[in-house]
Structure 1
C-alpha cells in the first residue's frame, strides 16, 4: 500500500490510567470512504510499544459497542495490552439495497473481501482489518507493536476473528477467541445470505476462506483458540452459531482442549452482559501469547 492515509483524532478519554482514542481516516480498502476506529492504549513505561488485541464487533454494531460495553479495559490495563476496535463495515457507500436489511450491508460486512462487483469496491473488510488498519496505525506513530497481535470478536465478529486467524498464511495473529461466534456460516442463514450477496461464487467460494469449521478441518499448525457461548442465546437456539460443529471438527482434526477450548455456559444470552462476564478470561488468555 503506497499511499498510507493520515489519521484525524476525534476524541480522547482517560480510562484506567490509559487512554481510549477515536480516529478517522479515508480508507483505500473501503473505496475511499471515511472510517472510524477506537483504540485503547494502556499506560506504558518509557514510551515502549505494547502488544495489541483487535476486537471485531457483531451485526449492526460500530466501533463503539465493544469499547463502551465490553468490560475489557480493567484486565487490558493490568496486562499492558492495547485494544483496537474497528467498525463492522464501510459506511455510506451508496450501494442500492445495502441498508435494506439489518443482517446484510451496512453494519454487516462479515469481515470478508467481496468479489461480487456490486460490493467489491467498498466491502473489503478482510483487507482493511489485516493489512490497511495496522499500517495506518503504525504510520501514525501510535505505540503499538504489531509483531505481537491477536484477535477476538463477538457473533459476526467472532466469525471474523476465527477465520482471519485460521486463514492467515503469515501467522499474523498469535491467538484467537470469540464470544458466541458464527462458527459454521456456510450452514446457517446469516452466513448463506452474506456469502450469496458479497461473493460472486456464493457459499461455495466462502468455504476456502470464510468458514471457521471448514478451515479448522484443514489446519495443521498449532492453534490457540478460546470460544464461549451461552445456552440461552436465541441465535444459538435458532442454529445461527453452530459451535458444536466447530468443536467436533476441531477434535476430528486432532486439536485437543489445550489448543481449541469451547466453553458452554448455562443461562447466558447473546448480549454484552454475557461478553462482559467473560471479558477478563479472554484478555488473560491472549496475554499468555502476546506477552510470551
Structure 2
C-alpha cells in the first residue's frame, strides 16, 4: 500500500492544515485528501480522528476552507480527515451532470461499467484510507464519521454498516433514502444497475430499519428548514420517522431559516465536533 505524500502545509490555530496525495489501489487512480493536524500531535497520547465526507460537486478542500472547524479541533486535539468525493483523473469515467461521476461518487462500490473500474468509494473510505491514516498518525483505534448531503448519506451508511469501527456518526442535511429520491435513483442505477435489492446496502433508512433496536452507535443530525432540497430530495425526515418507530435515540435538530450551504455547516460544526470528541475519548 502506497504511503501518503505531503504536498502542502500551513499553520492554523497552532496546528497544521495539510494536504496529501497518494495512489489508491482501491480506486485505481491518484487521490488527494486534506488533514487538519492539531498542536497536540506532538504529545505521546493517541489523538481522536473524525472523517468528514463532503457532498455533490465538492472535493477535499471545501470543508477545510468553509466550515471553520479547525479552531475547535485544535482546542480538542482532534485530527480532521477530509477525503475527495470521487475518483479523479483523465482515465476516470464521468458524466455531464453534476450529480453523477466526478464529484459524485456517492460512497458506493460500483458494479456497472464504466464506473466499476474506479468508483469504489465505499471501500476507499472504510478500508484503504483508515489504514493510511493509522500508518501516518498516532491516533486512536476507532474513528468517528460525519458528512454533508451526499456525504451525510455516506457517513450514515458507513457508520451503520461498520459499528465496530466508528464511535459516533453525524450528518448535516443528509440524503437518507437514496432509493426514493432523484439524486439517489440516478446514481444507484448508474453505479449498481437496475436491481434495487443491491441498492439497499447503501440506503440509511433501510439499514436503520434492518438493525432496529440493537443499534447502539450515537448519532447526531442537523437539518435546515430553508433547505431547497429538504422535500424534493427527501432529506432527514424519512430517517427520523424510522428512528421514532424503532425507538432509536438519534438526536435530530431542525433549524428555521438555514439552507443547504456551508453557512449552515459553519453555524453548527462546533456542536458536531464536541459530540464526536465525547464519544471518541470514551474508547
**TM-score tier after normalising by the smaller chain length:** over 0.9
Select which of 224, 228, 231 maps to 2:222. Answer: 228
Which position in structure 2 is the counterpart of 1:120?
Answer: 116
Which position in structure 1 is the counterpart of 2:265?
Answer: 275
SS of 2:268 mapped into structure 1 = helix
CA 1:201–1:172 in 2, change beyond 3 Å: closer, same or farther?
A: farther
Select which of 7, 12, 19 maps to 1:10. Answer: 7
Structure 2 counterparts to residues 34-183 of structure 1, below 5 A: 34-44=30-40, 45-92=42-89, 94-95=91-92, 98-139=94-135, 141-145=136-140, 147-168=141-162, 171-183=164-176
After superposition, the C-alpha distances for 1:34-91 in whole angstroms (9 at most, x for unaligned) are 1000111111153433110000000000000001101111111111111000000001
TM-score normalised per structure 2? 0.95
- Between the aligned partners of 2:65 and 2:174, the Cα distance in structure 1 is 20
- Between the aligned partners of 2:274 and 2:98, the Cα distance in structure 1 is 33
Native 8 Å contact 1:180 1:241 kept in 2? no
Native 8 Å contact 1:195 1:202 kept in 2? no
Calculate the aligned-residue CA RMSD, in Å: 1.4
Q: Please report how far the alpha carbon of residue 287 of structure 1 lies from its aligned counterpart in structure 2 after TM superposition.
A: 1.0
* Structure 1 gaps, min length 5: none
CA 1:265–1:30 in 2, change beyond 3 Å: closer, same or farther?
A: same
Whether 1:27 aligns to 2:20 is no
Native 8 Å contact 1:218 1:253 kept in 2? no
Which position in structure 2 is the counterpart of 1:287?
Answer: 277
Q: Please report how far the alpha carbon of residue 202 of structure 1 lies from its aligned counterpart in structure 2 after TM superposition.
A: 4.3
- Between the aligned partners of 1:93 and 1:157, the Cα distance in structure 2 is 24
- Between the aligned partners of 2:193 and 2:182, the Cα distance in structure 1 is 18
Structure 2 counterparts to residues 185-224 of structure 1, below 5 A: 185-207=178-200, 209-219=201-211, 220-224=214-218
SS of 1:112 mapped into structure 2 = coil
Q: Please report how far the alpha carbon of residue 203 of structure 1 lies from its aligned counterpart in structure 2 after TM superposition.
A: 3.3
Which position in structure 2 is the counterpart of 1:255?
Answer: 248
Q: Please report how far the alpha carbon of residue 95 of structure 1 lies from its aligned counterpart in structure 2 after TM superposition.
A: 4.9
- Between the aligned partners of 1:241 and 1:179, the Cα distance in structure 2 is 13
- Between the aligned partners of 1:233 and 1:180, the Cα distance in structure 2 is 8
Native 8 Å contact 2:14 2:39 kept in 1? yes
Select which of 239, 247, 255 maps to 1:265. Answer: 255
* Structure 2 gaps, min length 5: none
After superposition, the C-alpha distances for 1:243-272 in whole angstroms (9 at most, x for unaligned) are 11101101111213xxx0111111100000
Native 8 Å contact 2:92 2:118 kept in 1? no
TM-score normalised per structure 1? 0.92
CA 1:166–1:78 in 2, change beyond 3 Å: closer, same or farther?
A: same
